[in-house]
Amino acid sequence: MLNTFQQGEHALLPRATHDERARQNFAKGLRGYIQREVLPGLTPLFSGVSAKARAKGDELATRHDVRKAMRREPYFQSYAGLNRTAQELLWLSVIDAIEHDWNRLSAEVEARAGQGGELRIPENFDVPRYVTALDIHCMPGGYASAADPAQFAAGALYERGVYLYAMGYGGPFNDGKGRSVCNYLLKHLPGFEPARILDMGCSVGHSTLPYEEAYPDAEIWGIDVGAPLVRYAHARAAELGSKVNFAQMNAEHTDFEDGSFDLVVSHIMLHETSGKAMPKIFEECFRLLRPGGWMVHCDLPPFDLMDPLTQFILDNETYYNNEPFWGAMREIDQVSLAKKAGFEADTVRFDTAPMVIQAYADESAKGYDKDAASAVADREFKAGEYAPGGGWEVLIARKGA
Ligand SMILES: C[S@@+](CC[C@H](N)C(=O)[O-])C[C@H]1O[C@@H](n2cnc3c(N)ncnc32)[C@H](O)[C@@H]1O
């Protein structure tokens, strides 16, 4: 596990005082404690609860059955309450640092306005209701708050907050997902040389930047519905020496031309959309791709690949972490949706992209900080924390040539 001090340093990262760091460390430590010490207790609790149910002739066959039985248990209630408290503390500990470092951060963002790649933020933009209706994963103000005075604070909050949330397991630059998918593509589609790549729901560009390393000749765009996110992403990328372009756009209907990309990807975006948006996003991916191009969406696996207890644990995000689509999305038949959008039926599949910290053992794995990787390499992944099987699940599909 990387500690709070091992996040990759750059000028856009909010600088915390000693006390703010101590609070961030506590919030991260509390999360780690819950995962390590409290979460495992749910398994024996479940054994007891399901044995009691069976004795009465009931089978806890679905995640809903498991929830009904488990939510009455004081141990589960304590776990869920602690988890929620840790999540709220985590964001609050970062907000303090952003407020205290505000003037410096504003100047750093401004200074990068003409640097790096292109930044497009339109005048009038409709942020979808599924993003504005509530503060997703309890992040105060959400991704696109009108109360964000210089329109980048949500980016700074996400940058530091998600590092603490992932407890450093995404790597120093939190780019583990992007790197994992890049490794997967380099391995499974050798010879595929995309000239234009689009990352949908890029937030601050964590997962977008690795594509520049994997495909150095490609033109790369990251889009997101949150203006504060893409403004921060652009400044962060420029600071890190990247030429990736960013734009505020909706993945359901972008401004790009038909057939203008070879690869369209997303990382943990789909579960933050909606049942109505998802089919539109798949259709938009199809429209945007050139014949022979690939669509890859990276997220956690669908529920039918997990046992009911794991489903229940993950679904706590729906109930207690302001992620209304988290559970429903994992029940949608994404393979059928992709086929319906026009993708070649025999190419549409779910597959596992090994997390880059595991793939690192393979010498061919590309570009990952070795010290950081070895610090986390022998970590055991637990149900409910990350994808069962230790990988990111990718939905992959090709547009017919
Ligand atoms: C969990 S974050 C993903 C972060 C990033 N992809 C990563 O790997 O770290 C989900 C992002 O999707 C964005 N989003 C949600 N719906 C979207 C849509 N219809 N079009 C574009 N972005 C969207 C949200 O604003 C948010 O930044």
> Concatenated DSSP letters for 165-234?
HTTTTT-TTS-HHHHHHHHHHHHHSTT---SEEEEET-TTSTTTHHHHHHSTTSEEEEEES-HHHHHHHH
Has residue 236 got a pLDDT over 80?
yes
Looking only at the bridges linking them, the beta strands covering 245-248 and 219-224 are parallel
Distance CA 234, CA 202 (A): 11
Distance 199 CA to ligand 1 centre (A): 9
pLDDT beyond 70 at 375: no
Does residue 153 have its Cβ closer than 6 Å to ligand 1? no
Q: Nearest Cα to 247, choosing from 185, 310, 200?
A: 200
Mean pLDDT throughout 97-122?
95
pLDDT of 358 reads 55
CA distance 287 to 257: 8
Nearest to 199 by CA among 81, 288, 134, 74: 288
Answer yes or no: is the C-beta of 131 below 6 A from any ligand 1 atom.
Answer: yes
What are the residue boundaries of the structural domains of the chain, listed by start? 1-401
pLDDT at 147: 77
Residue type, 382: K
User: Residue 384's pLDDT is what?
Assistant: 34
Q: Of all protein residues, whose CA lies closest to atom 13 belonging to ligand 1?
A: 201
pLDDT of residue 1: 53
pLDDT at position 303, please? 87
CB under 8 Å, gap of 24 or more: what pairs does 71-80 form? 73/45, 73/49, 75/41, 75/42, 75/45, 76/42, 76/45, 78/38, 79/34, 79/38, 79/39, 79/41, 79/42, 80/316, 80/319, 80/320
Q: What mean pLDDT do residues 117-136 have? A: 94
Q: What is the pLDDT of residue 269?
A: 97
Contact predicate 309/281, CB 8 Å = no
pLDDT at 6: 76
Average pLDDT over residues 241-268: 98
Q: What is the pLDDT of residues 165-221, one digit of tens each?
A: 887 777 888 888 998 899 899 989 999 999 999 999 999 999 999 999 999 999 999
Q: Among the CATH numbers 3.40.640.10, 3.40.50.150, 3.30.1960.10, 3.40.250.10, which is that of 1-401?
A: 3.40.50.150
CA of 59 relative to ligand 1 center, distance in Å: 37
Q: Provide mean pLDDT across the span 147-166.
A: 90
pLDDT at residue 4 tops 80: no
143 Cβ below 6 A of ligand 1: yes
Say yes or no: CB of residue 300 within 6 Å of ligand 1: no
Residue 143 Cα to ligand 1 midpoint, Å, equals 9
pLDDT above 80 for 368: no
**Is the distance from the beta carbon of residue 175 to the nearest atom of ligand 1 less than 6 Å?**
no
CA distance linking residue 186 with residue 274, whole number of Å: 31
- Residue 137 has a pLDDT of 93
Query: Which H or E run contains 31?
Result: helix 18-33
Pick from 121, 165, 272 the residue to mutate for probing ligand 1's pocket: most ligand atoms within 8 Å of its CB.
272
252 touches ligand 1 (CB under 6 Å)? yes
